[in-house]
Amino acid sequence: MYERYDEINPPPRLLMGPGPVDADPRVLRAMSMPLLGQFDPRFTEYMNEVMALYRQVFQTHNRWTFLIDGTARAGIEALLTSVILPGDKVLVPVLGRFGQLLCEIARRCRADVATLETEWGTVFETAQIEAAIKQHRPKLVALVQGDTSTTMAQPLAEIGPLCRAHDALLYVDATASITGMDLQTDHWQLDAVSAGLQKCLSGPPGIAPVTFNERVERLVRERKHVEEGIRGAHQDDAPGEIIQSNYFDLAMLMDYWSERRLNHHTEATSMLYAAHECARIVVAEGWERRFARHALASRALCAGLGAMGLSLFGDQVHKMPNVTGVYIPEGVTGDAVRAAMLNNFGIEIGTSFGPLHGRIWRIGTMGYGCSKRNVLSCLAALDATLRQHGHQAAWGEGVDAATEVYAAEA
């Protein structure tokens, strides 16, 4: 006998971890729209609109700005696997766990990976990266803008020109930071950038927007091999080494996302609708209001946590505005507090990885979920839960301090 299951009807939650965070209801509504065939003229129009919208999101004029189907690491993998040749030197300045992920993916592309380390909770000085570039002479520098694992944001404006001066490409993983803080692809001379939907873009995980310029395009085109079954009769392979992955082959994806519309995978229809709506909402809000909203929530949350007697994690000058790390106070079990917040208040906050596991919680204030109401609810729930777990939290002072920050801004 087969078992019977209930329909999916998840409990209401407020997702205030490092992601995924709550999706904007408008995005969920877009996802429920009827499917279209992938070459339906209305659908290909949506594809073109997506390209135009993400050019705005990435602040770029790059023609090649489109979606990779899969979670954020699909975007990372597509860019790295299409650019890196076995034996290429790749430099990864590692801020935290997601820098380690870049190393891991680059190694699978059989790159010769050099790393630069910094203590978790800090970022690199430009001079440190410059010294490492001079020492290793990489073909590619791969960096995370906001490493969610440590809540730190690496300043990027000087890194692009530095890479150009040393004839290296610069790839940036902006999954956790995109639209929560500034990222100027063209102005900062970033050659390739990838992202994900499930953080500040306020969509579900499952699509990775990417953008790359002509410097990257040139390398990818040199490796173009079109698969049997769709290649034209007189199509010659490019002289370069075939890209190892079929699914993440940017050369073939460029054919699919251009006027040629050469069939590759079946585009993830509902996820494309979601990505379209995520970007449309960002563009409608505008950069100034959006960055100010994230910065204000960060200030209010930090003021509230401080007033509760808690200590913030990491270099506060370089803290991401959309994720906050806070030390778990002495005598309290981090996971027990998280479980109680979830069970009693329906609020999820994040645990952490590696050397920070059991030492800090991470609280996300991202996109749709980045609001005064959520900041205050989270502080109130944490305050009550800490008291219930034997910690001398300050009755309501966290909420009061955060409220004051909002009031001062009003």
Report the interface residues with ligand PLP, using CB under 6 A. 19, 71-73, 98, 144, 147-148, 173, 175-176, 196, 205
Smallest gap from residue 103 Cβ to ligand PLP (A): 13
3-state secondary structure of 209: strand
* Strand 207-212 to 64-69 pairing: antiparallel
Amino acid making up residue 317:
V
1 and 335 Cβ atoms separated by less than 8 Å? no
Pick between residue 156 and residue 307 the one whose CB is nearest to ligand PLP: 156
Smallest gap from residue 397 Cβ to ligand PLP (A): 31
Pick between residue 123 and residue 303 the one whose CB is nearest to ligand PLP: 123
3-state secondary structure of 55: helix
Smallest gap from residue 149 Cβ to ligand PLP (A): 7
Pick between residue 304 and residue 325 the one whose CB is nearest to ligand PLP: 325
Smallest gap from residue 313 Cβ to ligand PLP (A): 16
Distance of CA 232 to the CA centre of its chain: 37
Pick between residue 173 and residue 383 the one whose CB is nearest to ligand PLP: 173
Smallest gap from residue 195 Cβ to ligand PLP (A): 9
Smallest gap from residue 141 Cβ to ligand PLP (A): 16
DSSP 266-320: ---HHHHHHHHHHHHHHHHH-HHHHHHHHHHHHHHHHHHHHHTT--B-S-GGGB-
Smallest gap from residue 76 Cβ to ligand PLP (A): 6
57 and 177 Cβ atoms separated by less than 8 Å? no
Beta-sheet strands, E only, within 98-230: 112-117, 140-144, 146-147, 152-153, 169-173, 192-194, 207-212
Pick between residue 175 and residue 298 the one whose CB is nearest to ligand PLP: 175
DSSP bridge pairs for 194: 173, 210
Tokens matching residue 401: 């301090």
Beta-sheet strands, E only, within 3-81: 14-16, 64-69
Amino acid making up residue 257:
W
Pick between residue 148 and residue 202 the one whose CB is nearest to ligand PLP: 148
* Strand 140-144 to 89-94 pairing: parallel
* Integer Cα distance of 111 and 113 in angstroms: 6
Pick between residue 72 and residue 305 the one whose CB is nearest to ligand PLP: 72
Smallest gap from residue 214 Cβ to ligand PLP (A): 25
The one-character DSSP state at 341 is: I
* Integer Cα distance of 64 and 273 in angstroms: 19
Smallest gap from residue 224 Cβ to ligand PLP (A): 26
Pick between residue 150 and residue 385 the one whose CB is nearest to ligand PLP: 150
Residues in the chain: 410
Pick between residue 62 and residue 148 the one whose CB is nearest to ligand PLP: 148
